Amino acid sequence: MEKLLEKLKEYLQMETEIPFEEFAEYYRQLISELNQTFNDLDKDARVKALYICSVVQSNADARAKGSKTTAKAFKKISAKCGFWRDAIKFHLGKDGMSPQEIEQATEEINTSI
């Protein structure tokens, strides 16, 4: 998750939007990582995954509105990230984190970027 977060930080610092192909590849890497490691992630890694999913979902939503040719793909990306975001929040709650603690933890990541 750390590698994906570092790449996301790099993307967030950019002045221009990355091409669809690069965005889709980053998304595929994220989903692959979640599928393979989700049950083994510790609380810190889950918070990072939640942050990444939230940012990717938000970007996919915005891009779906701006591009007719890739809108359907961006909507699918957004929906899948929304699913993972909800699953991560559920598991963080089961691990004893309150919604406020989850929000604060993701905000700390956002502030550090």
Residues 104 and 82: their CA atoms lie apart, in Å, by 19
Q: Is the pLDDT confidence value at 36 over 90?
A: yes
CB of 86 closer than 8 Å to CB of 36: no
| Inter-residue contact 103 to 51 (CB < 8 Å) | no
- φ, ψ (nearest 5 deg) of residue 9: -60, -40
For the chain, which residues make up each domain, given as ranges? Answer: 2-11+19-35+43-112
Q: Whole-angstrom Cα distance, residue 21 to residue 61?
A: 16
Instruction: Write down the pTM of the prediction.
Output: 0.94
Confidence band, pLDDT 50/70/90 cuts, at residue 41 = very high
Confidence of residue 113 (pLDDT cuts 50, 70, 90): confident
Nearest alpha carbon to residue 3 among 29, 23, 28: 29
CA-closest candidate to residue 80, choices 9, 27, 21, 11: 27
Please tell me the predicted confidence (pLDDT) of residue 32: 98
CB-CB contact of 82 with 57 (8 Å): yes
Average pLDDT over residues 79-108: 97
* Structure confidence at residue 66 (pLDDT): 86
- For residues 100-112, give the mean pLDDT: 96
- Give dist(CA 48, CA 22) in Å, integer: 21
Contact 52, 5 (CB under 8 A): yes
